[in-house]
A and B are shown apart, each in its own frame.
Chain A
């Protein structure tokens, strides 16, 4: 139990998948111009990443027992694409309200590195099933935290700041991410027990 809580806390803070491992940057930069969209994308990511992490673990165990781990990349990516497709159809059919709120973000998630990275990381770190579930959930939550923080700052900045033309838009987003990242690395060494 202790390790599960530790994994969740550290993947939210000093192991944050967006700010420390630098993953999922494309949507992070593209969709963080206002907080509302950022929230929608964040929730969609939490759903998909947690789900695919949980699904991919038994699949990897199966691959390992048959000695075909070479194919893991191919299998993971197909699982992810299928899960996203399924989730989209499921939401459209049974929860149309939710679908309208963040359905448009779902197809974009297939190419979000976070989803694949979580699957690759649990392989590298040899997590157990429960740890994988905790890691997927914590990492996606950490990503959501990062995109909402960034969107909040960018929204205010676009309103009030007078930036050089080349710097405004995406370039300043990187500088902001750098500052946020410094702050999150500051959590290193945090111990809760």
Chain B
């Protein structure tokens, strides 16, 4: 019984940390490229978030399973091959069932491979932890990422098109903020969100230690 409780707490803590305290985007500022490039529509953000979550979980599972037989010298290449295999399957899945979203995401699906979050979780967690925690950890990081993606996307879609998930919200007279659908809007919104979250979590960067 005690064992179960310990396990529960560990899983729970990993989950909680992934979403708040060690949120990959807000705290570590990783995986930004896709976070900004695909968040002009909520549906794209959801697709991207789920895709990344799947890739992290599946590759964490694989790496964790074979962690004892990967030679340390070639581990990076191993991660790359495993990750790109799953990314190709996500791409094929989107093209088969959600063609419009696959078109909208374009090259950015392929760029999940170079998303530092995926690589980072393999190196920092999956390669030295047992399978079940690795999956939980992958899920937590993926969810932390998806959460920020959706928040950014809601703000941008609302301001840029006056809609959420293509449903009109702002009324007919809404003046569209076109710039929000383009790159600068993403930068501003994410910058402000990072600021807000950091104030909430009381996470401050030390100017001296940033090299």
A-side interface residues toward B, CB under 8 Å?
19-26, 29-30, 33, 70-71, 73-74, 77-78, 81, 110-113, 115-117, 120-121, 124, 158, 164-175, 177-179, 181-182, 185
**Are B207's CB and A124's CB within 8 A?**
no
**Are A167's CB and B195's CB within 8 A?**
yes
Residue of B nearest to A20 (CB): B183
Within 8 A of A (CB), among B75-110: 76-77, 80-81, 84-85, 87-88, 91-92, 106-107, 110
Chain B residues with CB below 8 A from A81, complex form: 76-77, 80
How close is A37's CB to chain B, nearest CB, in angstroms?
8
Residue of A nearest to B37 (CB): A22
Chain A residues with CB below 8 A from B211, complex form: 33
**Are B186's CB and A22's CB within 8 A?**
yes
**Count of chain A to chain B residue pairs whose CB atoms are closer than 8 Å in the complex:** 132
**Are A185's CB and B187's CB within 8 A?**
no
Tell me, yes or no, whether B169 is within 8 Å of chain A by CB. no
**Cα separation A22 to B108 with both chains bound (whole Å):** 10
**Which 4 pairs, one residue from A and one from B, show the smallest C-beta to C-beta distance?**
A174-B191, A178-B187, A169-B205, A25-B32
Interface size class of B (residues with CB under 8 A): 35 or more
**Are A26's CB and B80's CB within 8 A?**
no
**Cα separation A7 to B199 with both chains bound (whole Å):** 43
Given the known interface contacts A22-B37, A169-B210, A178-B187, the answer about A77 and B30 at a Cβ–Cβ threshold of 8 Å is no
Partner pick for A171 among B33, B81, B186, B198, CB 8 A cutoff: B198
**Cα separation A30 to B106 with both chains bound (whole Å):** 26
Given the known interface contacts A26-B29, A158-B207, the answer about A174 and B187 at a Cβ–Cβ threshold of 8 Å is yes
Chain B residues with CB below 8 A from A167, complex form: 195
Can you identify 8 A-B contacts, CB atoms within 8 angstroms? A26-B29, A70-B88, A73-B110, A115-B114, A116-B110, A117-B107, A120-B107, A170-B194
Chain A residues with CB below 8 A from B77, complex form: 78, 81
**Are A113's CB and B92's CB within 8 A?**
no
Tell me, yes or no, whether B165 is within 8 Å of chain A by CB. no
Identify 6 new A-B residue pairs, CB closer than 8 A, beyond the known A20-B183, A179-B184, A181-B187.
A21-B183, A73-B88, A74-B81, A78-B81, A111-B119, A120-B107
How close is A70's CB to chain B, nearest CB, in angstroms?
7
**Are B207's CB and A169's CB within 8 A?**
yes
Tell me, yes or no, whether B55 is within 8 Å of chain A by CB. no
How close is B73's CB to chain A, nearest CB, in angstroms?
11
**Are A124's CB and B195's CB within 8 A?**
no
Chain A residues with CB below 8 A from B191, complex form: 171-175, 177-178
**Are A166's CB and B33's CB within 8 A?**
no
Chain A residues with CB below 8 A from B36, complex form: 22, 25
How close is B168's CB to chain A, nearest CB, in angstroms?
27
Chain A residues with CB below 8 A from B107, complex form: 117, 120-121, 124
**Are A166's CB and B199's CB within 8 A?**
yes
**Are A78's CB and B33's CB within 8 A?**
no
**Are B116's CB and A111's CB within 8 A?**
yes
Tell me, yes or no, whether B111 is within 8 Å of chain A by CB. yes
Chain A residues with CB below 8 A from B110, complex form: 73, 116, 120
Chain A residues with CB below 8 A from B33, complex form: 22-26, 113
Residue of A nearest to B179 (CB): A182
Chain A residues with CB below 8 A from B113, complex form: 73, 77, 116
